[in-house]
Amino acid sequence: MDCIKAGKLILSLRKEKNMTQKEIADALNISDKTISKWERGLGCPDVSLLGELANILGVNVEKLLLGDLSPNSKDTGNLKNVKFYVCSNCGDIIYSTGKAHISCCGRKLTPLVDKQHDEDHKIIIDEIENDYYITIKHEMTKNHYISFVAYVSFDRVQLVKLYPEQNAEIRLPKRQKGKLYVYCSKHGLWGKENK
């Protein structure tokens, strides 16, 4: 941990939050002189305080340790670069269009990489009226099922959560060309272009 970089970040975040050194010190049950030392790079926060300090400042502990909050490059708004994340512990589904550091249940999540659909994960898209009727030839048991279906076009993500023991089929409003994603609880993410 670089105390000078961390101190500059603490100072910057404190000012961003419109907090005084005393307010942060009181929240941590320490002296405001300690906060002053950190901000001047004359010492680093004790490891036992990092979690609470990061919470107060609204930053990830890892970023606090690095002393760097470099922003991602601007997202152009095109969802073609969407990345999906699924927590293996609780099943939460998260998506991002830019470079993100995402964690859930205390674990760092990595973006899923889609594979081209195959016979075991066959995705069929039919048009009915003004909708897409999507069926996936896949079992839907408690141990092996399709968890979600997402249709991504250039400006929109439509995500439908599915549950075991229901049919692996959904109906979505028809949109311009895009890509359909299907997540299997055992085999990961599958994709199919819809032109």
Q: List per-residue pLDDT tens for the chain, 195 residues long.
A: 788 888 888 888 889 889 999 999 999 999 989 989 988 989 888 888 888 988 898 888 887 787 877 665 665 556 778 899 999 888 899 998 877 888 888 788 999 998 887 777 788 888 898 898 999 888 899 999 999 999 998 888 899 999 998 899 999 988 778 888 999 999 999 988 876
How much of the chain is in helix, strand and coil states, percent to nearest 5?
25, 30, 40
> How much is the pLDDT for 75?
56
Token pair listed for 102:
């995402």
The highest-level CATH class for domain 79-194 is: mainly beta
CATH architecture classification, 3-66: Orthogonal Bundle (1.10)
Q: Measure the CA–CA gap between 119 and 137, rounded to whole angstroms.
A: 8
Q: Specify the domain boundaries for CATH 1.10.260.40 within the chain.
A: 3-66
Q: Specify the domain boundaries for CATH 2.60.40.730 within the chain.
A: 79-194
Q: Measure the CA–CA gap between 167 and 165, rounded to whole angstroms.
A: 7
Is the CB of residue 96 less than 8 Å from the CB of residue 83? yes
Distances (CA, A) of 133 to 78, 87, 123, 142, 170: 25, 28, 11, 24, 6
> How much is the pLDDT for 169?
92
Question: What is the amino acid identity at position 47?
Answer: V
Q: Measure the CA–CA gap between 192 and 8, rounded to whole angstroms.
A: 47
> How much is the pLDDT for 59?
84
> How much is the pLDDT for 194?
76
Q: Measure the CA–CA gap between 80 and 154, rounded to whole angstroms.
A: 6
